Amino acid sequence: MITGDLDNDVRELNMERFNNSPDSKVFFGSIKACSEGISLVGASRIIILDIHLNPSVTRQAIGRAFRPGQVRKVYTYRLVAAGTLEQEDHYTSFKKESIPKLWFEWNGACRAEDFQLEKVNVTNCGDNFLETPRLHEDVITLYRRCA
């Protein structure tokens, strides 16, 4: 685990143990604690429990697990409570993320749908974790976001 109050030596030790241990299954880290100077290349999944209104902060935290040259597929999940202010914050953050794409990535081949959340079938999405039947009880909607 990494929290904001750990000193650098303990953070380094925790990262090292997680990345190099075949027994490591779960690593907890807050977005703020994992936003810089952290490398979690041992991760295969990232679960984001809080919404940050600055999408760059969240992207930076995700980047701690997916590093250049990595061959392992890394899944990122953003758990958002439906029908809450948190959901509104999530959409606000997504819109903020879309603005630079509209400015810098738009070309004749782009469609408006390329900048929308894509709805995904939970029972057939290609992710064994999400396709677990028990998980379907609580998942209302699943969206795929562009990288």
The span from the CA of 32 to the CA of 50, in Å, is: 11
The span from the CA of 117 to the CA of 87, in Å, is: 13
Assess if residue 44 is contained within a domain.
yes
Please give the tally of structural domains in the chain.
1
* Cα 84–Cα 1–Cα 12 angle in degrees, nearest 5: 135
pLDDT at 133: 79
pLDDT at 40: 83
Average pLDDT across the chain, whole number? 78
Assess if residue 130 is contained within a domain.
no
Residues paired with 144 in a beta bridge: 118
Assess if residue 116 is contained within a domain.
no
Q: What is the pLDDT of residues 18-75, one digit of tens each?
A: 888 888 888 888 777 776 677 888 888 888 888 888 888 888 888 888 777 677 778 8
Domain that holds residue 59: 1-79
The span from the CA of 137 to the CA of 135, in Å, is: 5
Assess if residue 9 is contained within a domain.
yes
Tokens of 91: 């959409």
Assess if residue 14 is contained within a domain.
yes
Assess if residue 87 is contained within a domain.
no
According to DSSP, the β-strands at 142-144 and 118-120 are: antiparallel
Assess if residue 136 is contained within a domain.
no
SS3 of the chain:
CECCCCCHHHHHHHHHHHHHCCCCCCCCECCCCCCCCCCCCCCCEEEECCCCCCHHHHHHHHHCCCCCCCCCCCEEEECCCCCCHHHHHHHHHHHHHHHHHHHHCCCCCCCHHHHCCEEECHHHCCCCCCCCHHHHHCCCCEEECCC
Assess if residue 19 is contained within a domain.
yes
Residue 83 confidence (pLDDT) above 70:
yes
